[in-house]
Structure 1
Amino acid sequence: MIRAVRHLPLILLLPLALTACGTEKAASGASGTSGNSGRTGSSIPSGSSGPAPDRSRLEARARYMQSAMEHIYVTAVDGYSLAKQSVGVLGGDGFSSVYVSKSGEQIRLEVDRGTLTEANCAERSLYPAEGRPVKCERDGTYWYRTSGDAHEYARADDGHVVRIGADGAVDRDTLRRAAKAAHPADDRELDELLPQRQEPTAPVERGDLPPVGDGAPNNDVGVGG
């Protein structure tokens, strides 16, 4: 069972910076396309060769991860690669991932159910500055939210909120580019980032449980035991 991802402490994601560089190749730039005309590409390989992924299998893999398909987004920014180890469910059926640079800077992408308006923009704390006041500034279709050394771009999109955040090691222009490039994953991108499993693991069969009674293990011992 995949456990819900809340806010992964940056220090816990440091190993991702080391492994991601060897397992995920960064996009050559945000100007590439990922299959949809006019859309910036992601750092997930999304080549057009080969048969298209089976949609029903993708949906089964998303159910196994416990994320709603409409919440699975990807992004792209020069010098950053998706750390596949970071991909997982956020809250009930949201989605979370982390993009890591070669020097270890991290950009978090989070999508979850909710709304975002001028009235509630400052209500939700920013990681890693929980409990500190939040300032909101309109920037195009996004809200630019800051709190201490933490900042993020966030926008509402059809019943969910897309958040792209980082600490002060990532400058605002880089974060804005990542936010503008964020988009719902297409089928090939889904095929690259979703876990290969399609169904939860079956419960383990206990051989020492009696067929009747309260189900407690039978710990009886024989004569002389």
Structure 2
Amino acid sequence: MTYRVRLRGLWPALLVLTLVGCGTEHVGTGSRAPEDVPDSAELEARATALQTRTDRVYVTEVAGYTLATQSVGVLGDDGFGSSYTDRNGHVIQLGVERADHSPADCGKKPPTDGAADYTVCEREGESWYRATALGHAYARAEGDLVVTVSAALPGVDRATLRTAADAAHLADDAELDTILPPLGGAPGSQPVERGDLPPEGDGAPDNGVGASG
């Protein structure tokens, strides 16, 4: 499931519900032998096919949570987003975007996209922690990027979210190979075969029984 959203403060609650409802396939990011990892040119091509860049792809680790591969996709214009779920369906979302806003903006006027007012907005180490009645997030600036780790409340507590935020880091080549879809395998990159279309000509679809089987 690829998503293209503009992050403002907290992730939309609807995105969390959609991910939980569609089912997930999980994958680990264990160590890989150097000879088994593709070269940087292939990894960059795979990121480009996903409409992002390798220097936007971050990963995280938190006990009990694994990456949901269907969640991997572009965020905003050329950012990167992914989600991690546990066995109970709780979701932690990781997003990386170009810094057209500051993580400290939560201390200013709340977003105008319908989000609730911030109940918490405070500096914690190198990150800003912000919360609303619906969810909470840690966000930090890294160069020209903002790295955000967020979750719905009350499913994921603050300590767990902080662990995920602290562990968030730029993916190395082995992690990129695990996370990025293979060339030609990115969502929407392959045509969908229609069994109800005639094999020749431009005739109307065959809606007979068994035509699409």
- Which TM-score bucket, shorter chain as reference? 0.7 to 0.9
| Structure with larger Rg | 1
Determine the C-alpha separation between the residues in 1 that align with 2:62 and 2:190. Answer: 39
Residue 45 (structure 1) aligned with residue 30 (structure 2): yes
Matches within 5 A, 1:123-202: 125=111, 130-134=114-118, 135-168=120-153, 169-197=155-183
In structure 2, list runs of 5 or more residues that go unmatched: 7-11, 192-199, 203-213
Residue 11 (structure 1) aligned with residue 17 (structure 2): yes
- Contact 2:59/2:168, CA 8 A, preserved across alignment: yes
Following superposition, the deviation at residue 125 of structure 1 comes to 4.5
Determine the C-alpha separation between the residues in 2 that align with 1:84 and 1:5. Answer: 18
Shift in CA distance, 5/84, structure 1 to aligned 2, threshold 3 Å: farther
TM-score by length of 1: 0.71
SS at match of 2:85: strand
SS at match of 2:44: helix
Q: CA RMSD in A?
A: 2.9
- Contact 1:5/1:88, CA 8 A, preserved across alignment: no
Determine the C-alpha separation between the residues in 2 that align with 1:201 and 1:139. Answer: 41
- Contact 2:140/2:146, CA 8 A, preserved across alignment: yes
Q: Identity, % of aligned pairs?
A: 41
Determine the C-alpha separation between the residues in 2 that align with 1:19 and 1:131. Answer: 27
Determine the C-alpha separation between the residues in 1 that align with 2:31 and 2:18. Answer: 28
Following superposition, the deviation at residue 201 of structure 1 comes to 5.3
Corresponding residue of 1:103:
88
SS at match of 1:89: strand
Shift in CA distance, 100/116, structure 1 to aligned 2, threshold 3 Å: same
Corresponding residue of 1:222:
none
- Contact 2:137/2:150, CA 8 A, preserved across alignment: yes
Give the one of 56, 72, 77 matched to 1:71. 56
Corresponding residue of 2:195:
none
In structure 1, list runs of 5 or more residues that go unmatched: 25-42, 210-225
Determine the C-alpha separation between the residues in 1 that align with 2:145 and 2:114. Answer: 21
Q: Which is worse superposed, 64-73 or 178-187?
A: 64-73
Q: Which is worse superposed, 2-11 or 160-169?
A: 2-11
SS at match of 1:58: helix
Amino acid at match of 2:149: I
Following superposition, the deviation at residue 14 of structure 1 comes to 1.2
Determine the C-alpha separation between the residues in 1 that align with 2:79 and 2:102. Answer: 16
SS at match of 1:137: strand
Shift in CA distance, 117/85, structure 1 to aligned 2, threshold 3 Å: closer
Shift in CA distance, 124/109, structure 1 to aligned 2, threshold 3 Å: farther
Shift in CA distance, 130/155, structure 1 to aligned 2, threshold 3 Å: farther
- Contact 1:155/1:162, CA 8 A, preserved across alignment: yes
Following superposition, the deviation at residue 9 of structure 1 comes to 1.9
Corresponding residue of 1:88:
73
Shift in CA distance, 133/202, structure 1 to aligned 2, threshold 3 Å: closer
- The number of aligned residues is 181
Determine the C-alpha separation between the residues in 2 that align with 1:164 and 1:62. Answer: 21
